[in-house]
Amino acid sequence: MKATVAVLILSVFLGASILAVTAEQARAESLRCGTKIVEVGENTGTLLASCGPPTYRVIAKYAGGESWYYDRGSVQFTKKVVTLGGKIIAIEDGEYGWTAPASPQM
């Protein structure tokens, strides 16, 4: 009886861990811009239409790809979108953004 309860508890913790990792991966492989979500595999035209131009771009001349960086403000993580051949191949979280919030008008 005790072994069965221990196996059940272990199964629950294992299942919860798998769900947490899966949710984290899904979050890192997508970018929300307002009400739109852009995901790995979509084209850069969709990215531009949904999120607008990136804050800055880095071109990898040796590979023909680009890294697009979106600064989403100082309270959110920046997003790095890696493109190759007009397709999104990776979306990664960066550090917190560096854009300061607008100061109140006096």
Q: What is the pLDDT of residues 65-96, one digit of tens each?
A: 999 999 988 888 899 999 999 999 999 998 88
Q: Spell out the domains of the chain, with CATH numbers in brackets.
A: 30-96 (3.30.1450.10)
SS (H, E, C) the chain: CHHHHHHHHHHHHHHHHHHHHHHHHHHHCEEEECCEEEECCCEHHHHHHHHCCCCEEEEECCCCEEEEEECCCCCCEEEEEEEECCEEEEEEEEEECCCCCCCCCC
Write the pLDDT tens digit of every residue in 12-71: 444 344 433 333 444 458 999 999 999 999 999 999 999 999 999 998 877 789 999 999
